[in-house]
Amino acid sequence: MAEIMMAVAGAGGRMGRMLVATVAGVAGCRLVAASETPGSEHVGRDAGDVAGVGAVGVVIQPQAEALFGAGRVVIDFTSPQATLRHCDLARRHATGLVIGTTGLKDSELGVVQAAARDVPIVFAPNYSVGINLMLKVVAQVAATLGDAFDVEIIEAHHRHKVDAPSGTALGLGRSVARAMRRDLGEVAVYAREGQTGVRKSGSIGFATVRGGDIVGDHTVLFAGEGERFEITHKASSRMTFAQGAVKAAVWLAGKPPGFYTMNDVLGF
């Protein structure tokens, strides 16, 4: 079986380094390109050395174009602006994309979906197998409990995370809202301060914690009269996200154009 050629965007970042290490350790996968923003201290260095796994013979480039080529899959955990640029490059070079970038606005997600008409793309707010199972479970619980229970979503991440709530928290909120036949945009509450009044029935609340080196904790709380039901997932290592993303990249190789999710990858 031919090796699957993979490239990693943002190879000097926390997730980028983990992705490089994961690709390097998976049989049947070969890292063929890596990039970082121009001016990064990692540009010009071997991606494996930066990731701490030893030289892999791939030098980190400052041009995103170096990632793209027919038959490759690019793994992108960068920024919304960079991801939109990568979607354009993917279309031009017939390259598959696995996107884990968070903080995308609806209009930006629309650009990703449009690109998927020409190239295969897997998009997910979180590549942990556990989180993707959680997305399905919270929907089932929400549909069963109905309006008798209030829903709150609590998430915690490291001090360096720049968007809030997390993409995973929003994904959980959308999953709950769909199950309860609501529009998250209409019922979400992202901040509370001062005299807020009583809780509005049917709303879905979000609470955000930022501090230290927390990898990612997510809880969906269903609060009823006399009882509470909580579903929690805690990630102790970014490796779980990297392993899921590489699994998605292996699955995506050779697929026709389309907008895919981890439900497709995992066969849910």
Catalytic positions are 157, 161
Q: Is the peptide bond before 62 cis (omega within 30 degrees of 0)?
A: no
> Which of 69, 70, 86, 95 shows the shortest CA–CA distance to 10?
86
Query: What's the CA gap between 85 and 101, in Å, rounded?
Result: 12
Bridge-based pairing of strands 120-123 and 29-35 is unpaired
- Are 178 and 193 a contacting pair, CB within 8 Å? no
